[in-house]
Amino acid sequence: MPIADITIIPIGTETPSVSSYVAEIQKVLQQNTDRVNYQLTPMSTLIEGELSDLFDVIQQLHEIPFTNGIQRVATNIRIDDRRDKKSTMAGKLQAVEAKMKSS
């Protein structure tokens, strides 16, 4: 299952804080839990799902700063799409943890 790492950067905000935009992004993700799984991290948001759903949800997220009056937005997207075996966010973490225990 594809996993996307997304960072949305509103440019030209009144303050250096962007937590209000991050909160709005999380609300939109909550509305899409039937299509994607997500995890907020201190620096970005991870989402997993079918590729077409990821692109649709990413577009929704990219629009959030614009709907809040921002005129410029930079969105960074990194996609891990492994097709030789099933991959999930939880599975990737478990694989690393298992290797740490066996070392």
Distance CA 5, CA 43 (A): 10
Distance CA 67, CA 58 (A): 15
Beta-bridge mates of residue 75: 8
Pairing of strands 3-11, 72-80: antiparallel
Which helix (H) or strand (E) segment holds residue 48: the answer is: strand 45-49
Distance CA 79, CA 48 (A): 9
What pLDDT score was predicted for residue 94? 92
CATH code of residue 70: 3.30.70.930
Which residues span the domain enclosing 77? 3-102
pLDDT in tens, the chain (103 residues): 999 999 999 999 999 999 999 999 999 999 999 999 999 999 999 999 999 999 999 999 999 999 999 999 999 999 999 999 988 999 999 999 999 998 7
What pLDDT score was predicted for residue 102? 85
pTM for the structure as a whole: 0.90
Distance CA 92, CA 39 (A): 13
Total domains in the chain come to 1
